[in-house]
Amino acid sequence: SQQGEEDPQALSIQEGENATMNCSYKTSINNLQWYRQNSGRGLVHLILIRSNEREKHSGRLRVTLDTSKKSSSLLITASRAADTASYFCATVATSGTYKYIFGTGTRLKVLA
C-alpha cells in the first residue's frame, strides 16, 4: 500500500531555479525521508526529518514537515543539471514496524 504521494508527478525547470516537491502521507509517522534515484539506478538517501522536527537543511536541500497536515516538502535551491532525477519520500510508521513506505516519486528535469 502506498502511503506517500508526491506532487507534482513531474517537474521541469531551468538550471539555477529552485525546485519544490511535496509529499503527503496518511498515518502517524516516526520520521520521513527523502531519496533520489538517477535513471535506472538504486535510491540514494538524502535527508531524514523526525516527527518532532519542523525543518531541516543539508547543503542545497531544505525539508519541512507539517505533521498536522501530514505533509512534507523538499526544496532544492539553485538547481543544477546533475539534480535531474526522481525524488521519493518514504515514511516510517509509529506502529513499531521498521518498514519504509515509499511514494510514487516526482521526476525532476533540470534544463541547462
Partner 1 sequence: DVKVTQSSRYLVKRTGEKVFLECVQDMDHENMFWYRQDPGLGLRLIYFSYDVKMKEKGDIPEGYSVSREKKERFSLILESASTNQTSMYLCASSSPGGNYGYTFGSGTRLTVV
Chain residues that interact with partner 1, rule: CB under 8 A: 1-2, 30-31, 33, 35, 40-45, 48, 50, 88, 90, 92, 97-105
CA-wise closest residue to 23 among 39, 11, 8, 37: 8
Give the nearest distance from C-beta 22 to partner 1 in angstroms.
Answer: 15
Give the nearest distance from C-beta 93 to partner 1 in angstroms.
Answer: 9
Of 19 and 46, which CB lies nearer to partner 1 in the complex structure? 46
Of 15 and 46, which CB lies nearer to partner 1 in the complex structure? 46
DSSP string covering 51-107: TT-SEEEETTEEEEEETTTTEEEEEE-S--GGG-EEEEEEEEETTS---EEE---EE
- Quote the CA–CA distance of 105 and 97 in Å, as a whole number: 22
Of 79 and 106, which CB lies nearer to partner 1 in the complex structure? 106
